[in-house]
Amino acid sequence: MTKQEFETFLEAKAIEAKTPNAIDWDARKQEWLDALQRFYDEVEIWLTDYLRSAKIGMERRDVTLEEENLGAYRAESRVLTIGANRVVLRPIGAQLVGARGRVDMEGPKGTVKFILTGKHSNGIRISVSVVPPEGSAAASAREPQPESSEEWVWKIATPPPKVRFIELTPEAFFDALMEIVNG
């Protein structure tokens, strides 16, 4: 690499850093943590009667997640006790293909995946775009893509190979919970 090529590379990186549409990773992490808390709050509302009557126990646990661009950070998980069974609601992360976040509900008979996705999304969509190499004329002319303004909601993802997203309702949550406890 010549000195001129290196200078061009540095200039491109400086422009990239100043781009107003660059992803604010701290804000993205906070949005994920806020959405995770809303998910837990909703689950606790659905379980209120069972928690009060001690038919279900719940404890909070801290976990450390580590993701590219977000680094290591603290999040919470929940552990439900139903009879002799333990069910863990474990946050997976905020950077996933087709979702803004995922929580796995793991029980003795399986796992159910809850994903944070677009309100109108009903399955994984994959689109492909060709990105020119950094430093090329095409790369410097490329317009940054704005963040989607779609509303993000929690849904249940069905198992592969044909993944579909199911609306997360109290009934769907209870069905999923019974499935991973009873099989």
DSSP E strands in the chain: the ranges are 57-67, 71-82, 85-93, 101-107, 110-118, 152-157, 165-167
The pLDDT value recorded for residue 19 is: 62
At 53-112, the pLDDT tens digits run 999 999 999 999 999 989 999 999 999 999 999 999 999 999 887 789 999 999 999 999
Q: Is 39:114 a contact under the CB 8 Å cutoff? A: yes
Count other Cβ atoms within 10 Å, centred on residue 97: 6
Q: Is 84:182 a contact under the CB 8 Å cutoff? A: no
The pLDDT value recorded for residue 99 is: 85
The pLDDT value recorded for residue 145 is: 44
**Higher local confidence (pLDDT), 19 or 172:** 172
At 150-165, the pLDDT tens digits run 789 999 999 888 889 9
At 13-48, the pLDDT tens digits run 777 666 655 788 899 999 999 999 999 999 999 999
Q: Does position 144 have pLDDT exceeding 50, yes or no?
A: no
